[in-house]
Amino acid sequence: MLVENINLDFIRQAASAIEEIACRTPLKKSINLSQRLQKNVYLKMETMQDTGAFKLRGAANVIMHLSEKEKASGVVTASTGNHGRAVAYVANALGIKAIVCMSSLVPVNKIAAIEQLGAQVVIYGDNQDLATEKALQIAQQQQMRFISPFDDPYVIAGQGTIALEILQQRPEIDTIITQLSGGGLASGIAIAAKALRPDIKIIGVSVDHGAAMYESIKAGKIVNVLEQASIADALPGPIPADNRYTFDICRRLIDDIVLVSEQQIKDAMCYSLKQEKLVLEGAGAATIAMLLQRSPVKIGDNIAVICSGDNVDMKQLLNICDSL
């Protein structure tokens, strides 16, 4: 598929395809953040998806569009956690075989959540590149459909349905702050939002080390990054050199990228729990971390913040809060 075919109509089609699997999540006003920033700040509660993260949208859209032959053969993917859980969830619901390849850096609680849904988990290598290579190898050997965590038109369109909902719920939104890793979420949101509101600002947030999309956009080409352990384990890591969609879309449509530190993310996780009564893993709290640090990047007066990923070990989260 050509990148220009991933458009507003394609995303609207995704919304119809996934409506029985992914729920329409609330856009909740944060009184605390609104007062702090003297702006209207709304939290897009993607933690309320059945799998606790926005990834359910993209995975559902891919699997709902599989042929009968592809469904019979099964699906395989590589994941840092939430995408794998989403694929496992949809595959389980439709009676499709699923294999999820993960690196040794993935937290145990995320592995257990995927296995609970009946998918086979394969741990391979110490980075996402190696896990992806293994998944592609399995796909070829077993004639299974490989589902990219981000660089797939149907994944991008599924994630873009979030922007449709945001602008239906609050048409006045002028800024969307979203997590930025491989770019599937940011790409889909940017395409849909800017088609509906060309003047809307899209801000991507990532970690301050191993942020592949940030480094690649800065260099004007896809570059290798060293994948390091992070409290936001879903954000750092490489982008494959054969990327077809997300790098181009993010380079064109994302207005600013903000990097946050490990400590800022931990602070945001604790803030979210104590002030917003919201359980967020590291990657999910990165967007709130940007607002708490009062980044110099200019934002509008009506802001939607993606809050996604509640798959955090509660003991770890409570320990983080106790140590601050």
Provide the annotated active-site residues: 55, 308
Residue whose entry in the numeric block shows the structure tokens 């933690």? 47
Classify 306 as helix, strand or coil. Answer: strand
Q: Which two tokens stand for residue 303?
A: 């802001």
Under 8 Å between Cβ of 211 and 85: no
H helices of the chain, in order, are 8-18, 31-37, 55-64, 68-73, 82-94, 108-116, 128-142, 153-169, 184-196, 212-219, 246-253, 262-275, 282-292, 314-323
Under 8 Å between Cβ of 71 and 48: no
- 309 torsion bin: left (phi>0), alpha (psi -120 to 50), beta (else): left
Radius of gyration of the chain (CA): 18
Name the helix (H) or strand (E) containing 120. strand 120-123
Under 8 Å between Cβ of 149 and 86: no
CA–CA gap between residue 323 and residue 281 (Å, rounded): 16
- Of 120, 100, 26, the residue nearest 59 (C-alpha): 100
CA–CA gap between residue 123 and residue 147 (Å, rounded): 17
